[in-house]
Structure 1
Amino acid sequence: MTSPHDPVPFESNGETDSIDLLTAALRRDAADLEVYAQVLTGTLTEALPPGSVTAQRKRGLADRLAGRDGRVERVEVFLGEQRLVLDLAGGRPKGEVCKEVRGVVLSRRPVALDEWVRELALAVAVRARSDARARAVLERLVHGE
């Protein structure tokens, strides 16, 4: 049985368990979509190369006066030829998995939040195999640190 404090292997052995742990960590705060979007964008921005994560935010008057960034309404993650889009506007998350080559979307598939998170976990785990910084950030995410 795997403890949440066990090291997360991102190599080929135990990869399924790693993906499951990463999926659970990415889904952890999904009940509160606003908190979820903030944690997700912050963690992914830290783990992935610059330009891989974009977030569109909506700033109300209170946000501007308080100097806050505003509420995340859309997150896009670009990993290789895959673009993962999560639209949070309206309080109901809508996921989309796209295949994109040189800026042209070749396919677009709407998915539920759980499937979107699973696709994201798979793509990020692949990235973490070759990127030590991404691996360290993802291990912190999985362990809740």
Structure 2
Amino acid sequence: MTSPHDPTPFEPSGAADSLDLLAAALRSDAADLDVYARVLTETLADALPPDSVTVARKRGVADRLAGRDGRVERVEVVLGEQRLVLDLAGGRPQGQLCKEVRGVVLSRRPVALDEWVRELAGAVMVRARSDARARAALERLVLGD
């Protein structure tokens, strides 16, 4: 229980602990890539502007017949000049951190899943500090409400 003087999870004074909590929440389902992709696409879609999250899916015949969306193969999150790409095809997640200015990618760096999640958590926390809707969605993710 927090006192009225304690920072909320996304205020600067609790930033280090909040980043760890958010990264852990974002990483929690990584063992099952389908669940992980669903968490990323649904939770982040609630927390970020509509055009910030792009999802590429592979939809087979069985998916079409069953009315399913198909498997998530790639997730891209764009926040300001940062583009975070997670490729889930092939069963092994591969992350990329890109710096992008006016639609032009200036740098691209491959990273492990843990580093990708930590960068994503940091970028989303920055967004949550100035956006009440993002803050509420992230608090639901971290606190489980």
TM-score category (smaller protein): over 0.9
Q: Please name the residue that 2:3 is paired with.
A: none
Q: Supply the distance in 1 between the matched residues of 2:9 and 2:22 (Cα, whole angstroms).
A: 11
Check whether the contact 1:81–1:99 (CA below 8 A) recurs between aligned residues.
Answer: yes
Q: Supply the distance in 2 between the matched residues of 1:143 and 1:8 (Cα, whole angstroms).
A: 11
> What secondary structure does 1:44 align onto?
helix
Q: Please name the residue that 1:20 is paired with.
A: 20
Check whether the contact 1:34–1:71 (CA below 8 A) recurs between aligned residues.
Answer: yes
Check whether the contact 1:7–1:139 (CA below 8 A) recurs between aligned residues.
Answer: no
Question: Within 5 A, what are the aligned runs for 1:93-108?
Answer: 93-108=93-108
> What secondary structure does 1:17 align onto?
helix
Q: Supply the distance in 2 between the matched residues of 1:64 and 1:112 (Cα, whole angstroms).
A: 32
TM-score under structure 1 length normalisation: 0.93
Report deviation, 1:144. Answer: 2.6
CA-to-aligned-CA distance 1:41-83 (integer Å, 9 cap, x gap): 1111111001100000001111101111110000000000000
> What secondary structure does 1:10 align onto?
coil
Question: Within 5 A, what are the aligned runs for 1:44-59?
Answer: 44-59=44-59
> What secondary structure does 1:51 align onto?
helix
Task: Report the structure, 1 or 2, having the larger helix content.
Answer: 2
Question: Within 5 A, what are the aligned runs for 1:27-46?
Answer: 27-46=27-46
- Paired residues in the alignment total 140
CA-to-aligned-CA distance 1:21-54 (integer Å, 9 cap, x gap): 0000000100101110011111111110011000
What is the letter of the counterpart of residue 49 of structure 1? Answer: P
Q: Considering only aligned residues, what root-mean-square deviation do their CA atoms show, in Å?
A: 1.3
Structure 1 runs, 4 residues or longer, greater than 4 Å off: none
Q: Supply the distance in 1 between the matched residues of 2:17 and 2:49 (Cα, whole angstroms).
A: 25
Question: Within 5 A, what are the aligned runs for 1:49-128?
Answer: 49-128=49-128
Report deviation, 1:8. Answer: 4.7
Percent identical residues: 81
Report deviation, 1:10. Answer: 0.9
